[in-house]
């Protein structure tokens, strides 16, 4: 019996060692075939398309598309750091969805990732073909033979930080054709990132794909054609500043109405009713929502947050919703979002468990199509759908009839008073059409991006005098 147990243990250990050795062979062979054994830095550039993650016109549509006139990425694998610069132009006309549309002329976007960045940023370094192989060699990878689309691959897998799994599909030429991993997203939960690499070519002795298609959450975020690759290029990467804790600054804009902003963050609004509190908007993250909730409870003690009103599903406006579900608040949103939120509130967040994942509370959602009123008989908030708006199919605005205050987001740009006003955004034009239709009388505007403003400013940027 003892001998049998020893034999089983020996076989298991041998199998593990064999798997490790096989993985090392596949990784080393791939690095050699790609000419990447001594690769320390990499710069590649090209053009194509980018897509604004989490900014679709409605929850059932792909992320909005932009032309990428030029794209350059520099990576230092030894430092685990990267830079990215892309120049984009408007691709979809008329503009549909978010992502700072419409883009007038050219817009440059820069990104720096360093060792202090969260994994959701750093992972972009290690899902590149050569980055994947380097990370696999340092993280006890395993390998097995699989078929995908009828083609044979060596599937190399490993785990980072004891929770993030990365899979790479290596073909017989040593090329990485696909990399998969999962990261936490505040809205979608454990979300799949999948990158397909194809049409490898030789660039100064380094084989690199000339086509890159990355999907996050099932929809494309990059579709690039690579035209130039510089192995071991000199790359300068300036480290990011340490992330700051959420800052909350509150302005009492009217009796029992508080504008909760701070730190350049997207704002929320807290409204005190007789027996409860309504919070308008839950942006950015759980940490932001927790900071806002703490501030609201100081401003309005001994009353529950009964409602969280959500303007639309774009991720910069909905990433803190789950925190309010855990708090016990009713989520008020447009009907177009209801099925999406019913699904995402149940989505697993195992990689970075949030308060809702831990509490397992069931979400209560109240949806509407055209108009909804929240009142206690004295104070009233009217919620209106901004009909026909291209930014988002279910976007809403909030109106305080007694105070003549309008709360709205993403509908008009803030342009300095001494700067010329460009052609008005179609989002702004549509907002004013809705305001005219509804005959809303207001002066003060509480934007969820920016600072408190007024009707005169809205009219100025819209090209109308009144």
Break the chain down into helix, strand, coil percent, rounded to 5.
Answer: 25, 35, 40
State the pLDDT at residue 344: 97
Distance CA 110, CA 87 (A): 9
What secondary structure does DSSP assign to 76-143, as a single string?
ETTTTEEEEEEEEEE-SSS--S-SSPSPPS-EEEEEEE-TTS-HHHHHHHHTSHHHHHHHHHTTT-EE
Report which of 398, 91, 441, 375 is spatially closest to residue 268, judged by C-alpha positions: 398
DSSP β-ladder status, 107-113 and 305-309: unpaired
Query: Which SS3 state, helix, strand or coil, does residue 294 take?
Result: helix
177 & 298 share domain:
no
Say if CB 262 and CB 249 are below 8 A apart. Answer: yes
- 184 shares a domain with 145: yes
Instruction: Looking at the structure, tell me whether residues 260 and 118 fall in a common domain.
Output: no
Distance between CA 93 and CA 87 in Å, rounded? 18
Which of 133-137, 230-234, 383-387, 409-413 is the least confident region?
409-413
> What is the per-residue pLDDT for 466?
62
∠ CA 247-450-308 to the nearest 5 degrees?
Answer: 70
DSSP 464: -
Q: What is the pTM of this model?
A: 0.93
Position 5 scores a pLDDT of: 43
Runs of H (alpha helix) within 187-246 = none
Note whether residue 7 is domain-resident: no
* One domain, residues 303 and 332: yes
The candidate with the shortest Cα–Cα distance to 372, out of 413, 319, 333, 424, is 333
Does residue 350 lie in a domain region? yes
320 and 417 both lie in a single domain = yes
| Same domain, residue pair 140 and 44 | yes
In a domain, 352, yes or no: yes
Local confidence band at 410 (pLDDT 50, 70, 90 cut-offs)? very high
Same domain, yes or no, for 402 and 290? yes
The C-alpha atoms of residue 336 and residue 229 are separated, in whole angstroms, by 44
Position 264 confidence tier, pLDDT thresholds 50, 70, 90: confident
Last residue of a domain, one of 201, 231, 261: 231
| 65 falls within a domain | yes
Same domain, 153 and 81: yes
Q: Does residue 236 lie in a domain region?
A: no
pLDDT per position as a tens digit, 310-337: 999 999 999 999 999 999 999 999 999 9
Phi, psi (rounded to 5 degrees) for 23: -65, -45
Same domain, 299 and 414: yes
Q: What is the mean pLDDT of residues 248-255?
A: 95
* Of residues 183 and 245, more confidently modeled: 183
Proportion of the chain above pLDDT 90, given as a percent: 87
Range of the domain at 290: 249-462
Contact 427, 411 (CB under 8 A): yes
Return the beta strands (E) in 350-435 as ranges.
365-368, 371-375, 380-385, 396-400, 405-408
Peptide bond into 82 cis (omega under 30): no
Confidence of residue 9 (pLDDT cuts 50, 70, 90): very low
4: in domain? no
Q: What is the structure's pLDDT at 129? A: 98
* Summary mean pLDDT of the chain: 93
Task: Choose the final residue of a domain: 175, 200, 231.
Answer: 231
Tell me what pLDDT residue 402 has: 96
Contact 391, 427 (CB under 8 A): yes
Mean pLDDT of 182-210: 98
Asked, for residue 412, whether it belongs to a domain, the answer is yes
> Which of 162, 196, 231 is where one domain is finished?
231
Looking at the structure, do residues 290 and 185 belong to the same domain, yes or no? no
Which tokens is 138 given? 């340092």
Q: What is the CATH number of the domain that holds 48?
A: 2.50.20
DSSP-derived pairing of the beta strands 151-160 and 164-170: antiparallel
pLDDT single digits (tens) 72-105: 999 999 999 999 999 999 999 999 999 999 999 9
pLDDT band at 7 (very low <50, low <70, confident <90, very high): very low
> How many domains would you assign to the chain?
2
d(CA 102, CA 85): 20
Number of CB atoms found within 10 A of residue 38's CB: 10
Q: Tell me the C-alpha distance between 180 and 194, whole Å.
A: 5
Residues 193 and 276 placed together within one structural domain of the fold: no
- Residue 336 belongs to some domain of the structure: yes
CA dist 211 and 46 (Å) reads 10
Average pLDDT over residues 31-46: 97
Same structural domain for residues 298 and 336? yes
Burial class (CB in 10 A: 0-12, 13-18, 19+), 406: buried
Residue 221 has what pLDDT? 98
Q: What CATH number is given to the structural domain containing 359?
A: 3.60.15.10
Which tokens go with 139? Answer: 């993280």
Q: Which of 405, 418, 410 is nearest to 460 (CA)?
A: 418
């Amino acid at each position: 019996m003892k001998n049998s147990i020893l034999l089983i243990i020996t076989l298991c250990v041998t199998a593990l060692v064999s798997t490790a050795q096989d993985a090392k062979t596949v990784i080393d062979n791939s690095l050699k075939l790609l000419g990447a054994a001594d690769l320390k830095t990499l710069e590649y550039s090209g053009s194509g398309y980018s897509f604004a993650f989490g900014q679709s016109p409605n929850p059932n549509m792909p992320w909005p598309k932009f032309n990428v006139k030029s794209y350059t990425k520099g990576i230092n694998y030894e430092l685990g750091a990267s830079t990215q610069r892309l120049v984009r132009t408007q691709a979809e006309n008329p503009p549909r969805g978010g992502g700072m549309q419409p883009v007038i002329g050219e817009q440059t976007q820069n990104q720096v990732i360093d060792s202090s960045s969260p994994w959701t940023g750093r992972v972009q370094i290690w899902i590149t073909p050569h980055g994947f192989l380097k990370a696999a060699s340092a993280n006890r990878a395993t390998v097995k033979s699989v078929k995908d689309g009828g083609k044979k691959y060596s599937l190399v897998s490993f785990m980072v930080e004891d929770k993030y799994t990365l899979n790479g599909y290596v073909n017989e030429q040593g090329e990485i054709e696909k990399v998969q991993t999962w990261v936490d997203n505040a809205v979608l939960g454990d979300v799949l990132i999948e990158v397909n690499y194809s049409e490898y070519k030789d660039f100064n002795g380094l084989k690199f794909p000339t086509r890159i298609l990355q999907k996050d959450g099932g929809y494309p975020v990059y579709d690039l054609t690579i035209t130039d690759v510089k192995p071991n290029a000199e790359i300068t990467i300036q480290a990011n500043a340490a992330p700051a804790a959420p800052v909350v600054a509150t302005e009492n804009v009217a009796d029992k109405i508080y504008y909760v902003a701070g730190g350049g963050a997207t704002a929320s609004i807290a409204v005190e009713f007789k027996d409860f509190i309504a919070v308008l908007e839950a942006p950015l993250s759980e940490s932001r929502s927790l900071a806002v909730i703490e501030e609201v409870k100081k401003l309005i003690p001994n009353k529950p947050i009964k409602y969280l009103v959500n303007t639309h599903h774009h991720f910069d406006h909905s990433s803190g919703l789950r925190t309010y579900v855990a708090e016990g608040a009713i989520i008020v949103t447009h009907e177009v979002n209801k099925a999406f939120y019913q699904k995402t509130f149940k989505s697993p967040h195992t990689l970075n468990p949030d308060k809702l994942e831990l509490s397992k509370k069931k979400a209560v959602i109240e949806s509407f199509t055209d108009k909804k009123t929240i009142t206690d008989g004295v104070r009233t908030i009217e919620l209106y759908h901004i009909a026909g708006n291209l930014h988002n199919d279910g976007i809403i605005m909030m109106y305080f009839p007694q105070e003549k205050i309008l709360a709205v987001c993403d509908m008009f740009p803030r342009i300095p008073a001494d700067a010329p006003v460009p052609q008005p955004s179609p989002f702004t034009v549509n907002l004013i059409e809705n305001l005219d239709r509804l005959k809303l009388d207001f002066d003060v505007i509480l934007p969820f991006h920016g600072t408190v403003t007024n009707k005169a400013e809205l009219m100025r940027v819209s090209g109308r005098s009144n």
